[in-house]
Amino acid sequence: MCSSDLNIKIAIESYTPKNNRSQIIEKKSIKIILDAYNANPSSMQVALENFEQLKDNSKIVILGDMFELGESSFEEHQYIADLLENINLKQSFLIGSNFSKTTTKKASKFESFSDFIKTVNLNDFKNSTILIKGSRGMALEQLLDYL
């Protein structure tokens, strides 16, 4: 391998995204999968399916509203809430005015991020793997400041 190929290999292997797109962040005893740049029904479904496959023992999902879904907004948010019902999780949280209208037995729902932060004991997240996913407008990356 020539030196330029080696430099390219090193650069690719050392790249860490910082744009809220599928970042893996280790913070204290918490592993965070942060995908807070964009969300739509298919990307939410795939994220949940992939998260479900992880062998981690204590998994938590925090999902924020998906925007720009038009008339199908309620149905699409309900579909994602229904998917959570069949995934083995320690906890699941739905944040936003759209998710708060869904029906779920498993997830805790919050109208806003500030309601979530005021209500949830983040100390319960220790030693967990957390998936954080939502549309850009939900700004769920703010959660990193609280963990």
Q: Cα separations (Å) of 70 from 31, 73, 124?
A: 34, 6, 35
Question: Can you give the pLDDT of all 147 residues of the chain as single tens digits?
Answer: 566 777 666 666 555 555 545 688 898 899 999 998 889 999 999 999 999 999 999 999 999 999 999 999 999 999 999 999 999 999 999 999 999 999 999 999 999 999 999 999 999 999 999 999 999 999 999 999 999
**Beta strands per DSSP E along the chain:** 23-27, 30-35, 59-64, 91-95, 108-110, 129-133
Q: At a CB cut-off of 8 Å and minimum separation 6, what does 100 contact?
A: 94, 109, 110, 111
